[in-house]
Structure formats: structure tokens, C-alpha cells
Structure 1
Amino acid sequence: MARHISIEHGEGGEMTHELIRDLFVKYFGHAEEAKFDAAVLDLPGSRIAFTTDTFTVKPPFFSGGNIGKLAVAGTVNDLAVSGAEPLYLSAGFVLEEGLSFDDLERIVASMAEEASKTGVRIITGDTKVVEKGSADKIFINTSGVGVVHPGWELHPEDIEEGDVVIVNGTIGDHGVAILAARGELGVATDLPTDSTSLYPLIRAVRDAGVRIRVMRDPTRGGLATTLVEITEDFGVIVELDQEAIPLKPEVEGACEILGLDPLFLANEGKVVFIVPEADAEKALAAMRAREEGRDATIIGRVVGRSEEGKLLLRSPVGSRRRIFRLLGMQLPRIC
């Protein structure tokens, strides 16, 4: 591992994985809890999920959202994909001297609006102000607590050959929205971020009686990194169908212009499920009944087990290649 921190350590790829494994897990432990986006904890009389995240997105405002909406939705989603009903959030702010009060109010108002959509409450927080030049306008840390109701536990150990991989819509939207906000595309686009709270969608899938083996929201590092983590954590082989992965034309165009791989672009309103094949149609129907799931589709299958896990991509001509975590970075500070 490099002896100095670089920007690549924060991009969700191989260097982030090494940093967590070789430093944080080394000293803090808790390797099992690290397999989910929230730690699931047994307390007397209840089971809860607890998570935390820090948002440093640049710029703080972009099409369809801002850093505040992103912070609330991102933390709600980490709880929801860990099998919990999100209940309470904290909000910590690092504000740079000179930040517009009107901008701060817009951010805080969007946080309140996003929280109300899911029914979570922001109940505690902290504020620090640093000298001009010591931050980039605003950073936000949010932590969240939710309850894991009986029967809501995830069972990745039950993943078996033939299970299907489903995503609720097009990938890479958030990454391209940030690129556009930075003026880095070279062409104009008003593609909005997909940032949204996913608990209502996940609750609809649960209410439909779908047996969810595991689910994740593919944020930093994108769809590919998330699925690599699932395969490695739970010892399965997943094969994706490249033609089945949904993409908006704006995302395809941006990737062609800039030489980016959409599989590694960030998302902030997507969830990946692994469910039994027998439950696939129920899951798709439940998702497609909601706006945030109207483009839900099956993108792959579990094709076997392997101690180290593997993610494979099948091309339109039938060839297969293995997908690894991204080395280096595509986009810095996208969340």
C-alpha cells in the first residue's frame, strides 16, 4: 500500500478496498459487518442497523439535486439495502468561511424535504466553520439508525446458482450529472442526478413477498465495483449480460467522448438485488409500479460458486471477460 494518501484512495476502487482492509479493518476489526453498507447489531429486544457517510461532492449543486439531498438519500439507502427501516439521522456540517447563507439554506431545506419523503427524522448534528481555503464550501457527514424487523434479515448465504441479478434502472446517471455540472463533458446536457431515497421501492419489493438474498446501492465505483464486492464477500460467480444493462443515451455518449466505462460510474438512486429466479417477475412488477423502478430489468445471473468470487461480463458476441475493481480513478469527488 502506498505510504501517502492519494485521491484514488477515495474513489471506491481497488485502492479504497486496500485502505479499508489493510488499515481500518486491521485496527478496528469488524470484518463481517463490513460486508454490508450498514452494521447490523443485536440489542436487547431489537435488531438495528447503523451507518455513517461523509459527502464532499464537487460542485455542491448539480442538475436534479445538491449535496444535502445526496447526504440524506445516501444514508437512507445504506440502511435500506442492509435490510432496515430507516428511522433517524444525524447531520454534521463543515462550512467554509464565505459560503453563501442562501446556498446553505437551500441545502438544508432539501435535506428536510428528502427526509420527509422516507419518514426519517434528522434529530441531532454538529456544525464547524473553517477558514476560507480550508474546505470546498461545504462537507456533510450523516449517520443513520434503522430497525431490522423480524423476517427482514438478508440471507446472502442462501445465494444459489440460477438466482438473478436485478437493477431498478439506468446506471451512471449521477456520474454524468456531476461531469456536466463541472463543465467537463464538452457538450450540453441537462441529465439530472438519479439521487433519491430507495426505501419506498425496497419496501414495495418486500411487500410483494420477494425473497431478497442480498441488495446493495452501487454508488462510488459503480455497478461493477458493487458486484465485485458481493461476489468476493459471499463466494459466488455472477455473469452479467452487457446488452441487458440499461443506459441513457446521454450516459453512453459521455462515456464514448471521455473514454469512461459506465459500469464504474457512480449512481445515487439505484439498487442491485439478487433474488431467486422464481421471484424475479414479482420483484420486477413491484419495482416497475414505481417511478424510481420503471426501468427495472434482469442484468445477470449467479452461475456458480467460487471461494474468491468472480464477476464476469458476457459481450453481445458471446465472449466473456472477468471484471475487477477499478484501478486508478474515473471521477474524483462524485459523492
Structure 2
Amino acid sequence: MLDRIERARRRRPVVREERITLAHGSGGRATQTLVQAVFLDAFRNPLLEPLEDGATLRLGAGEEGVRVNLAFTTDSYVVSPLFFPGGDIGDLAVNGTVNDLAMCGARPRYLSAGFILEEGLPVEDLRRIAASMAAAAAVADVQIVTGDTKVVQRGRADGCYITTTGVGVIERPVTLSAAAAQPGDAVLVSGPIGAHGAAVMLARGDFDIEAAIASDTAPLHGVVAGLLDALPGGRVRTLRDATRGGVATVLNEVAAASNVAVVLEEAAIPVRPEVTGVCELLGLDPLYVACEGRFVTVVDGEYATRALDALRAHPLGEQAAIIGTVAPEPAAMVLLRTAVGGTRVVEVLVGDPLPRIC
């Protein structure tokens, strides 16, 4: 089985479908194939090829004769419904882009916002979304400095879609990459996983389930800064926010890019009981359920405890945990040691059991 999986991963990505499906936007294997076979193939360049959460731009000398290091990222938000417990599409759009910049080790500074509005959207809903974005920007200490608005016919846009682009300043000498993990490293998560995806799913009202679950959407650059300041340069290898595809997909990307194995301990992975309960009722694995205020980091194993202390010193990292280690083999795979003593392979799903969650 392992040989079959390894052979499959070595093949050049090919989109076999003739038309786009929802799976292509899920963040899973179908998304990865689409991005690599279509977009990376068309736009290939050294800044794009790493396929990180954002591009790192090293610009020419500034006024003081030093180079300016910037992070640059963009993302689109099509969440349904627009409003859900703990947040809405507005603060999600701000926090999501702020977090992508944070995963580059940057301090977020400026955002743009593009709106595609559907004919018939209540103006009061748009005001509420804009107010939510303004509040989230204030909390994150960023400014929305430019944007665009388009309106499409009724029935063409699910109310509102938002695209945000962000620019941040990289103030520390860091090199962060999914390809930087090494055997002996430790894997940490900044808090309980799966709350955002579960909250959005329940807000749709498709299931007769009631649970007090709110989205974990939040800006992460503060807790990331604390982590980077606590460890010497080079000891934080990787930062990834666990959005579409969840923790499982993020760690598969790390394992493949670094050609290592990631070994997780199921009992160490923090999941709130209410999220676990909903996932069990619906046959979902929390490892694949999206977060919007949690990130995964790989750090030098010798500094695992210091990294954990740094995360827990911040309010958004109080329930951080060490959830696994990096091993040399089996390369490009994620394994889970279960609570009952077995081991299973954690693969990337083709699609997402919860589409349209961001």
C-alpha cells in the first residue's frame, strides 16, 4: 500500500475532469492538482513555486540604505452562510489575509478589499459586513486602503463574495517554508481545532443538531510574533494556518515538501468536546475540519517546550499543544498513532466534506 501511495505522489499532476467541481475548491488533493497542473504550470516563477501562504518579496534599498522585506498575499471568501456564530464573511476576510501574512513571519500592514455583490443583497447586510471588517482591521492594526466593487445579477453570487489582498513587513531574519522540516523536529498546534468548520456547517441548518460552537476566527500575528521572538533564528521551520483541509492537509503538504514523515499522537491533538461530538455524529474527522484562528508550526525538537511556552503565553495560544514529531521515514507521509494503540495513514482527501467554509 505504501509503495502505491508513493508512486501516486511522484506522478505529474493532471486535471482529469473536463469541468470544475466543488472539490477543486476544497483545499484537498483536487485543489492541489488544479493549482499545480493549471496555475503553477501557466505562471511558474521562483516566487510562486514554493506555494506558500504568501510570497516573500525582497525589494531594493530604502531611505536608510537597507533592503525592505515584504510579504504579499491574496485570498477570496465565498463562505455560506454570510453570518455564522462567532463571525461573518467580513471579519473572516480580514483575519484570513492577516493570518496568511503572519504565516510568512510578517507584521500585516495594509489590505485591499474587492467585493462581488449579488443584486438583491440587503444594504443593511452589506453595512454589517463592512462594520465587521472595520472592527477586525482595528484589532489587527491594519488599514484597508483600496478596493473594488462589482454587482452581478440576482442568483449569481450567493449574496456577497470578498477578495482581500495584504502586504506585510518582515521584521525578523526568518526563513519559513513547508520544505524546511527536519527529522527530530516537533509539531505544534496553537489551540483546539475544527471549530470554524463545525460552526459554519451548523449555521447552514442542514442538520438537526444544536451545539454551542462558535468560529475560532482571529488574527494570529501577535501569537506568531511571540513564538518567533522566543526561539533563535532558524529554529521555527514552518508556519501554516489550518484553513481548508484542516491540520491533516497542512501536514501532508509539509511532509511532501520536506520529504519526511510526520507522526501525530491522536491523544495530544486538542479538540473541544462539542466539536468532537458533532464530528462523530456526522462521520467527520476533526483533523480535516477547517480552522480560521489556529496554526500549525514545526520547530526544532530541542526547542519544543520553549515554543509551547511561548504559544501559551498569548491568549490565542493558551491551549496550544505538541501533537507530533518529524521522522525520516516513511517519506512524504503523515501517520497517526491512535488512542487505542494502532497507527493509520492520514492522507489528503480529494475534496472537502464541508465546502464553502471560507
Tell me which interval the TM-score lies in, with the shorter structure as reference length.
Answer: over 0.9
Select which of 323, 329, 332 maps to 2:352: 329
Write the distance in 2 (CA, Å) between the matches of 1:14 and 1:270: 21
Letter in 1 for 2:328: G
> Is residue 42 from structure 1 mapped to residue 64 from structure 2 by the alignment?
no
Query: Aligned-pair distance for 1:150?
Result: 4.1
- Paired residue for 2:64? none
Query: Aligned-pair distance for 1:288?
Result: 1.3
Write the distance in 2 (CA, Å) between the matches of 1:61 and 1:317: 39
- Paired residue for 2:252? 228
Letter in 1 for 2:53: D
> Is residue 275 from structure 1 mapped to residue 299 from structure 2 by the alignment?
yes
Query: Aligned-pair distance for 1:217?
Result: 0.2
Query: Aligned-pair distance for 1:169?
Result: 0.8
Are the equivalent residues in 2 in contact too, given 1:93–1:138 (CA < 8 A)? Answer: yes
> Is residue 86 from structure 1 mapped to residue 108 from structure 2 by the alignment?
yes
- Deviation string 1:284-324 (CA, Å, 9 cap, x unpaired) is 12221222111100000001156x51111111233222221
Query: Aligned-pair distance for 1:329?
Result: 2.8
TM-score of the pair, normalised by structure 2: 0.90
Q: Check 1:43–1:225 CA distance in 2 against 1; reply closer, same or farther (3 A cut).
A: same
Q: Paired residues, what number? A: 334
- Deviation string 1:118-162 (CA, Å, 9 cap, x unpaired) is 211110000111121111000000001112224133266653222
> Is residue 153 from structure 1 mapped to residue 175 from structure 2 by the alignment?
yes
Moved more, 311-320 or 3-12: 311-320
Are the equivalent residues in 2 in contact too, given 1:185–1:258 (CA < 8 A)? Answer: no
Gaps of 5+ in 1: none
Select which of 286, 289, 305 maps to 2:313: 289
> Is residue 193 from structure 1 mapped to residue 208 from structure 2 by the alignment?
no
- Deviation string 1:1-59 (CA, Å, 9 cap, x unpaired) is 21100111100111101100111011111366343100112211212111110000000
> Is residue 7 from structure 1 mapped to residue 31 from structure 2 by the alignment?
no
Superposition map of 1:20-31 within 5 A: 20-30=35-45
- Paired residue for 2:342? 319
Write the distance in 2 (CA, Å) between the matches of 1:227 and 1:104: 36
**SS, match of residue 35 in structure 1:** coil
Superposition map of 1:254-265 within 5 A: 254-265=278-289
Are the equivalent residues in 2 in contact too, given 1:97–1:132 (CA < 8 A)? Answer: yes
RMSD: 1.5
Are the equivalent residues in 2 in contact too, given 1:155–1:212 (CA < 8 A)? Answer: no
- Paired residue for 1:124? 146
Superposition map of 1:166-205 within 5 A: 166-205=188-227
TM-score of the pair, normalised by structure 1: 0.96
Letter in 2 for 1:21: Q
- Paired residue for 2:156? 134
Query: Aligned-pair distance for 1:185?
Result: 3.6
> 4+ residue runs of structure 1 moved beyond 6 angstroms?
none
Are the equivalent residues in 2 in contact too, given 1:63–1:181 (CA < 8 A)? Answer: yes
Q: Check 1:256–1:31 CA distance in 2 against 1; reply closer, same or farther (3 A cut).
A: farther
Are the equivalent residues in 2 in contact too, given 1:25–1:31 (CA < 8 A)? Answer: no
Query: Aligned-pair distance for 1:208?
Result: 1.9
Are the equivalent residues in 2 in contact too, given 1:238–1:303 (CA < 8 A)? Answer: yes
Letter in 2 for 1:293: G
Identity among equivalent positions (%) equals 46
Write the distance in 2 (CA, Å) between the matches of 1:30 and 1:254: 43
**SS, match of residue 239 in structure 2:** strand
Letter in 2 for 1:296: A
Are the equivalent residues in 1 in contact too, given 2:175–2:237 (CA < 8 A)? Answer: no
Write the distance in 2 (CA, Å) between the matches of 1:155 and 1:263: 21
Moved more, 289-298 or 201-210: 201-210
Are the equivalent residues in 1 in contact too, given 2:264–2:337 (CA < 8 A)? Answer: yes
Letter in 1 for 2:55: A
Write the distance in 2 (CA, Å) between the matches of 1:158 and 1:2: 33
Write the distance in 1 (CA, Å) between the matches of 2:228 and 2:253: 23
Write the distance in 2 (CA, Å) between the matches of 1:282 and 1:150: 18
Query: Aligned-pair distance for 1:251?
Result: 1.1
- Paired residue for 1:62? 84
